[in-house]
Amino acid sequence: MQLGLIGLGKMGGNMRERVRRAGHEVIGYDTNPEVSDAESVQAMVDALQAPRVVWVMVPAGEITKSVITDLADRLEPGDLVIDGGNSRFSDDAPNAELLGAQGVGYLDCGVSGGIWGLDNGYGLMVGGDAEHVELAMPIFDALRPEGPRDEGFVHAGEVGAGHYVKMVHNGIEYGLMHAYAEGYELLEKKDIVTDVPGAFKAWSRGTVVRSWLLDLMVKALEENPSMDDVSDYTADSGEGRWTVEEGIANAVPMPVISASLFARFASRQKVSPAMQAVAALRGQFGGHQVMTVAEGEDLRAEAARGVASPAASRAQEKKKIETPQGPQESAQGDAADAGPTSGTQSTGGSPGPTSGSESTQ
């Protein structure tokens, strides 16, 4: 079978090779002439026999939209376009409608496997009409892992379903990755644990937390046990955000996936405005020391070296700021002596509740 493939980056290039290994002919086009098989999209289309199948593997969003719009003008009735990128599922219906007006079919296909897919195969999640899935099935079979088809391929539903399933897949991935990461940090902090990489490797067989992600974690730790020179700045592809948005839209609670997404946002902040506000508030109601940025960085450096102990942190907590309190606090005395400002218990004579459910009488 022939396949036209637009986009020959890390994923697209490996997919071309895997399909070729299965005995199919792939004519690829990329804006980089060094990796492209055809000099233009039109040359690629002309080299394919009808009914043509063209797989689009380019960045999601406007680039994908422009490629599909261009193909709508070049392809003929009976041809088929497959979007295998990380497009948002809501883009699929408009793409299908645009191509359908020209008699061209459309499938959306979520692809999982990363750089390892060339040898291991790719997990495929497809949305669209059954007749179009059947037309492209030889290509899907070439790309998926060896073994039973339903353990690496699903026709998930109508147009948009493939990308929707892939979106949820990536949301789950966020949560799994962060759970392993939190476990790593805790093991690193505990002085009685001396072989953290070994602990993760021991989970590889027979345990309920074993997975391919765990195997990759073991590989990363074996290559760099202490994560030397690894920045904690973590990007996101967008699919985690879309998953949380869909959770809200469908009233599905997603505390784990949401927390893992927000943790990535936090990783990009050199200074957290939210935590600055918390520090300022603690200074106001409790008289706790409000440190300068430089003092905070010194404490971070000590913590990274294992110098800052819980006892040292508590000692810092006991320090009082020297600046005077506001008028209300001055009239009432030291805020630290006024009793609790939140909770469900009595404050023993304080002016009135600031939060909580019980009386302060």
Helix, strand and coil in the chain, % to nearest 5: 50, 10, 40
Which of left, alpha, beta for 287 (phi over 0: left; psi -120 to 50: alpha)?
left
Q: How many residues does the chain have?
A: 361
d(CA 116, CA 139): 18
CA neighbours within 13 Å on the CB side: how many for 133?
Answer: 18
Structure token digits, residue 104: 């061209």
Phi, psi of 125 (to 5 degrees): -130, 115
d(CA 329, CA 252): 44
189 catalytic? Reply is: no
The active-site residue out of 173, 246, 302, 329 is 173
**Element (DSSP H or E) covering residue 145:** none
CA 89, 95, 100, 105 torsion: positive or negative? negative
- CA-nearest of 101, 98, 160 to 129 is 160
173 catalytic? Reply is: yes
Site of tokens 């079919």: 105
Q: At what angle do helices 161-189 and 212-223 cross, to 10 degrees?
A: 40
Return the amino acid letter for 101: A
d(CA 329, CA 336): 10
- CA-nearest of 170, 176, 178 to 246 is 170
- CA-nearest of 349, 348, 346 to 358 is 346
d(CA 251, CA 246): 8
Structure token digits, residue 27: 């004519």
- Which residues does the annotation mark as catalytic? 166, 173
